């Protein structure tokens, strides 16, 4: 049985959780509190970087959400979340990477940085650029590759629905808004949707994680 280590508020965990559910794979959910349990030797033996998500398949431990999603596509290819057409496949991969390297870091900046106008402005511009790009890739009522969801939906679509919690409206991007609302109705999105209490808790705790991590890293015996 697959073991999935996750945290309910983790933007990175949710895409993997949705992929496992969409593929209807049996898996054991193991929740970390990220209150120090990620630094326990048992967990560091699974992921020496002390982060979730992690997937363990038959003692094979995979970390980094993008690598886990790639592994799932190769090992459990049905249903397949990567289109065959080369151009569409490349757009899906671009959206996945842009979400991880542009969108999520910009969202984390908006949550963590309160006193640096330039950083906040830049983060807002990054988010707008992402929304503009998605808007050009969508047709009304359809997914990125047509009728079927892809890793673009699973990665970007699991994150974008958090934007209203950061006071960023999707109404200037009507195709993205429709797309996001459609995804929100899927059973897998509903099953993984954090409650408003978890979101509030997340907004507070996510600010502290880098400081705790820096302290912990200094104290950590070298590996
Ligand atoms: N690049 C990693 C990022 C994973 C990540 O940063 N996870 C956060 C939760 S959202 C974490 O485990 N943080 C624990 C900590 O900072 O101590 C991925 O894509 O999986």
Q: Domains in the chain, please, with CATH?
A: 2-79 (3.40.30.10), 86-190 (1.20.1050.10)
223, pLDDT greater than 50: no
DSSP conformation letters of 177-221: HHHHHHHHTSHHHHHHPPPHHHHHHHHHHHHHHHHHHHHHHHHSP
Question: Whose CA is closest to atom 10 on ligand 1?
Answer: 10
* Cα torsion through 125, 167, 180, 154, rounded to 10: 70
Residue 162: its pLDDT value, please?
Answer: 87
CB of 192 shorter than 6 A to ligand 1: no
Question: Ligand 1: which of 4, 31, 49, 52 to mutate, most ligand atoms within 8 Å of CB?
Answer: 52
Taking the centre of ligand 1 as the mean of its atom positions, its distance from the CA of residue 87, in whole angstroms, is: 30
CB of 52 shorter than 6 A to ligand 1: yes
CB of 213 shorter than 6 A to ligand 1: yes
Q: What's the pLDDT band for 220 if we cut at 50, 70, 90?
A: low
Question: Whose CA is closest to atom 16 on ligand 1?
Answer: 209
Q: What is the pLDDT of residues 125-182, one digit of tens each?
A: 999 999 999 999 999 879 999 989 999 999 999 999 889 888 999 999 999 999 999 9
Strand runs labelled E in the chain: 2-6, 27-31, 54-57, 60-63
CB of 175 shorter than 6 A to ligand 1: no
Contacts of residue 169, defined as CB under 8 A and 6 or more positions apart, other chains included, come to 163
CB of 53 shorter than 6 A to ligand 1: yes
CB of 64 shorter than 6 A to ligand 1: yes
């Amino acid at each position: 049985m697959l073991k999935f280590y996750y945290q309910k508020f983790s933007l990175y965990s949710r895409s993997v959780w949705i992929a496992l559910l969409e593929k209807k794979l049996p898996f054991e959910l193991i929740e970390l509190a990220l209150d120090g349990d990620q630094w326990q030797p048992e967990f560091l033996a699974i992921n020496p970087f002390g982060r979730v998500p992690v997937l363990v398949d038959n003692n094979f431990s995979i970390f980094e959400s993008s690598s886990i999603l790639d592994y799932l596509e190769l090992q459990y290819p049905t249903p397949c979340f990567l289109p065959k057409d080369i151009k569409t496949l490349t757009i899906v991969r671009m959206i996945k990477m842009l979400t991880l390297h542009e969108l999520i870091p910009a969202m984390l900046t908006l949550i963590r940085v309160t006193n640096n106008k330039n950083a906040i402005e830049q983060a807002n511009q990054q988010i707008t650029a992402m929304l503009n790009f998605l808007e050009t890739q969508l047709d009304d009522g359809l997914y990125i590759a047509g009728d079927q969801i892809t890793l673009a939906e699973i990665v970007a679509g699991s994150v974008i629905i958090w934007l209203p919690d950061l006071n960023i409206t999707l109404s200037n991007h009507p195709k993205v808004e429709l797309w996001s609302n459609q995804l929100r109705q899927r059973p897998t999105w509903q099953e993984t949707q954090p409650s408003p209490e978890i979101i509030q808790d997340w907004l507070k705790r996510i600010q502290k994680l880098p400081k705790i991590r820096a302290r912990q890293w200094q104290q950590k015996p070298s590996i």
